[in-house]
């Protein structure tokens, strides 16, 4: 997210980013941004489904570096994105589909976040007792409000924070050298660069009040104003790229204005649209986004009290839900389902010509929708998935069964009732899981569901590799891997991961009738792909519940079944 081209412009302007030794402070962290950046910059494999144990260890080192420097982190995650960002969200989803297909075909790293990375991040922060809040809506305004309240900087690489007035500035993540902790006069510090609006405005002879107009006229996630060629105002001709020259021209043009409204009206005149009320309204709304109200999350971090929901969420969400939502113990998309009847699906690294890995767990999601929306027959949920390389919305009917529980009192239902609903969704019985440790029951139940529902049907080799990896058996001799995954194996393991994620979501909604497993330990992408080539993979002993599923007439063990892959559907 952010203002197009502004990050690179600031990086190329030596007068703006100042060297800084950061320590002895609170730090408000843009969590959604950090997940992507840390995984992408960690050197971990991106194309075989995720290296979650290594990612969790990477996060632990990051938090340790902060604490070694007496830095107290507070993490905020995005919730439901506003509808006015819908167009931008669609464009980025379409780009992810194409990039995921390219990664599967060519083995290139395209920055596709593995399906369970956010879950691993939330769990790891909880294990490390790092304060974390999942916002009801976009986190940016809450991050700014909290940083202002506490007079501390923000850590992010979102250029929107270059526009907000932050008393203690912003620390761009790319320049935050947390793995190079230094010492000076017996104090440990993290070398970094710090940004503040005063330095920026001084460098470009701009009034701070006009910065929201820079964001809107330069092109942010709310307003796409590309019709004006701002580069013609760039009299110096500075700028390494056309995007930078365009922004520098806009900055030169903005020097003459004292308030953002003046710049807005002048821009409309440039377009010949002085009376264009719709565009004026959008621009005004977008500029107001950079003036957030007081923090509503300070009380949560200090006393554990969830903030009050805004309308319309307030009228649609039961009283028990805000606290687990804020704690990250309930998946954030419940608000999308309740408010706009929509579920945005994720896209893993897989060939676009194959069917989407999201298909397998749709029945689980339909039961989740049934719990959230109740039994009204005319309700549908719009799932935003893919067909081939195209983004494809599909209207899905929530599933209501005789054991569906009312949402308002769901948290009060007896555990045995909630457990039965979950086990029926996964097609297992409580007795069949009794030989397993409590933390193994949900992933094994998910594995049985996957065996019976994945297409093509998983064979004994895939199951053996998956179970060896899940149970921590890393004794098999490692086989060399290319960065290009086997496409059929990748599809099968992607289906399993998304089945697990959707089952974890349902388990959260049901208030944990089964213990939530440590997700970081369940799947190591390169390991399971290497185990596929181990000579003893098919001999790995399986729990009885999986043996019975494998032996059922619905499960085909012939590996030749892998060779015929259904077309998109």
In a domain, 320, yes or no: no
In a domain, 21, yes or no: yes
- Report the alpha-carbon distance of residue 230 to residue 250 in Å, rounded: 5
Is the model's pLDDT at 215 over the cut of 70? yes
In a domain, 372, yes or no: yes
In a domain, 551, yes or no: yes
- How many Cβ atoms from other residues are within 10 Å of residue 200's Cβ? 23
Angle at 395 between CA 392 and CA 401, to 5 degrees: 140
The pLDDT, as a whole number, for residue 224 is 59
Assess whether 162 and 184 both reside in one domain: yes
- Of 150, 172, 195, at which residue does a domain stop? 195
Lowest mean pLDDT among 79-83, 209-213, 394-398: 79-83
In a domain, 306, yes or no: no
Provide the pLDDT confidence category of residue 553 given band limits of 50, 70 and 90: very low
Is the model's pLDDT at 240 over the cut of 90? no
Could you tell me if 502 and 361 are in contact, meaning their C-beta atoms sit under 8 angstroms apart? Answer: yes
In a domain, 262, yes or no: yes
Using DSSP, state whether 25 is helix, strand or coil.
strand
> Which helix or strand (DSSP H or E) is residue 132 part of?
strand 132-134
Q: Average the pLDDT over 148-157 and give the result.
A: 97
Angle at 509 between CA 506 and CA 510, to 5 degrees: 90
Provide the pLDDT confidence category of residue 400 given band limits of 50, 70 and 90: very high
The pLDDT, as a whole number, for residue 558 is 43
Assess whether 406 and 522 both reside in one domain: yes
Assess whether 33 and 158 both reside in one domain: yes
Assess whether 243 and 178 both reside in one domain: no
- Report the alpha-carbon distance of residue 453 to residue 386 in Å, rounded: 19
Q: Which of 18, 117, 17, 125 is nearest to 66 (CA)?
A: 125
In a domain, 405, yes or no: yes
- Report the alpha-carbon distance of residue 41 to residue 38 in Å, rounded: 5
- Report the alpha-carbon distance of residue 125 to residue 29 in Å, rounded: 12
Assess whether 224 and 163 both reside in one domain: no
- Of 238, 255, 288, at which residue does a domain stop? 288
Assess whether 280 and 405 both reside in one domain: no
Pairing of strands 381-387, 390-396: antiparallel
The pLDDT, as a whole number, for residue 567 is 38
- Report the alpha-carbon distance of residue 258 to residue 315 in Å, rounded: 41
Q: Indicate the number of domains in the chain.
A: 3
Q: Phi and psi (nearest 5°) for 73? A: -85, 145
In a domain, 319, yes or no: no
Q: What is the pLDDT of residues 18-66, one digit of tens each?
A: 999 999 999 999 999 999 999 998 999 999 999 999 999 999 999 999 9
Provide the pLDDT confidence category of residue 563 given band limits of 50, 70 and 90: very low
Q: Which of 118, 110, 108, 90 is nearest to 386 (CA)?
A: 90
Name the residue with higher pLDDT: 242 or 377. Answer: 242
Q: What is the pLDDT of residues 467-525, one digit of tens each?
A: 999 987 655 555 678 899 999 999 999 999 999 999 999 999 999 999 999 999 999 99
The per-residue pLDDT of the chain, averaged, comes to 91
Burial zone of 538 (CB within 10 Å; 0-12 exposed, 13-18 middle, 19+ buried): middle
Q: Which of 156, 133, 84, 114 is nearest to 340 (CA)?
A: 84
- Report the alpha-carbon distance of residue 477 to residue 534 in Å, rounded: 7
Assess whether 188 and 212 both reside in one domain: no
CATH number at residue 181: 3.40.50.1010
Assess whether 178 and 236 both reside in one domain: no
- Of 266, 288, 310, at which residue does a domain stop? 288
Tokens of 140: 């940016």
Q: Domain span at residue 99?
A: 6-195
Assess whether 161 and 255 both reside in one domain: no
Assess whether 396 and 355 both reside in one domain: yes
Tokens of 492: 């099968």
- Report the alpha-carbon distance of residue 376 to residue 333 in Å, rounded: 20
Q: Kindly list the distances between the CA atom of residue 280 and the CA atoms of 4, 251, 261, in Å, as whole numbers in the listed order.
A: 20, 20, 10
Assess whether 410 and 493 both reside in one domain: yes
Q: What is the pLDDT of residues 95-119, one digit of tens each?
A: 999 999 999 999 999 999 999 999 9
Could you tell me if 188 and 182 are in contact, meaning their C-beta atoms sit under 8 angstroms apart? Answer: yes
Tokens of 16: 């703006």
Assess whether 355 and 458 both reside in one domain: yes
What proportion of the chain, given as a percentage, has pLDDT over 70?
A: 93
């Amino acid at each position: 997210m952010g203002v197009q081209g502004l990050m690179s412009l600031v990086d190329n302007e030596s007068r703006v980013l100042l060297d800084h030794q950061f320590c002895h402070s609170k730090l408000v962290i843009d969590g959604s941004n950090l997940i992507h950046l840390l995984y992408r910059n960690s050197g971990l494999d991106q194309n075989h489904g995720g290296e979650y144990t290594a990612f969790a260890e990477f996060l632990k080192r990051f938090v340790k570096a902060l604490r070694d420097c007496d830095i107290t982190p507070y993490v905020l995650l995005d919730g439901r994105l506003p509808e006015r960002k819908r167009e931008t969200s669609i464009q980025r989803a379409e780009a992810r589909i194409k990039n995921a297909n390219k990664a599967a075909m060519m083995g290139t790293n395209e920055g596709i976040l593995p399906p369970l990375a956010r879950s691993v991040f939330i769990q790891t922060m909880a294990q490390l007792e790092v304060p974390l809040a999942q916002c009801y809506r976009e986190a940016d305004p809450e991050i700014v409000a909290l940083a202002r309240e506490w007079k501390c900087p923000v850590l992010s690489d979102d250029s929107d924070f270059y526009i907000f007035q932050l008393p203690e500035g912003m620390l761009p993540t790319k320049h935050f050298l947390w793995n190079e902790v230094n010492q000076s006069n017996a104090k440990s510090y993290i070398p970094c660069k710090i940004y503040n609006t005063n330095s920026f405005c001084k460098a470009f002879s701009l009034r701070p009040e006009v910065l929201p107009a820079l964001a809107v006229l330069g092109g942010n996630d709310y307003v796409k104003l590309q019709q004006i060629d701002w580069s013609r105002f760039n009299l110096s001709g500075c700028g390494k790229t056309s995007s930078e020259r365009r922004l520098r021209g806009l900055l030169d043009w903005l020097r003459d204005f004292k308030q953002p409204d003046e710049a807005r009206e002048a821009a409309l005149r440039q377009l010949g649209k002085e009376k264009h009320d719709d565009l004026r309204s959008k621009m005004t709304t977008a500029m107001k986004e950079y003036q957030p109200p007081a923090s509503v999350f300070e009380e949560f971090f200090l006393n554990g009290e969830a903030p009050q929901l805004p309308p319309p969420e307030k009228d649609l969400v039961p009283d028990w839900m805000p606290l687990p939502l804020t704690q990250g113990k309930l998946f954030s998309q419940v608000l999308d389902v309740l408010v706009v009847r929509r579920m945005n699906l994720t896209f893993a690294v897989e060939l676009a010509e194959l069917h989407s890995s999201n298909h397998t767990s749709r029945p689980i999601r339909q039961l989740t929708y049934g719990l959230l929306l109740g039994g009204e027959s005319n309700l549908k949920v719009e799932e935003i998935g893919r067909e081939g390389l195209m983004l494809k919305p599909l209207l899905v009917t929530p599933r209501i069964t005789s054991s569906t529980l009312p949402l308002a009192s769901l948290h009060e239902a007896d555990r045995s009732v909630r457990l039965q609903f979950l086990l029926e969704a996964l097609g297992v019985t409580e007795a069949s899981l009794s030989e397993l440790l409590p933390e193994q029951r949900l992933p094994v139940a998910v594995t049985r569901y996957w065996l019976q529902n994945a297409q093509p049907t998983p064979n004994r080799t895939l199951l053996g590799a998956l179970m060896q990896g899940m149970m921590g058996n890393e004794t098999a001799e490692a086989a060399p891997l290319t960065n290009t995954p086997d496409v059929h194996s990748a599809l099968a393991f992607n289906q399993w991961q998304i089945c697990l994620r959707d089952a974890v979501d349902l388990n959260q909604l049901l208030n944990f009738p089964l213990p939530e497993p440590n997700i970081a330990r369940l799947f190591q992408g390169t390991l399971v792909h290497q185990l596929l080539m181990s000579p003893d993979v098919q001999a790995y002993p399986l729990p009885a519940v999986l043996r019975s599923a494998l032996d059922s007439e619905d499960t085909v063990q012939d590996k030749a079944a892998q060779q015929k892959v259904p077309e998109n559907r």
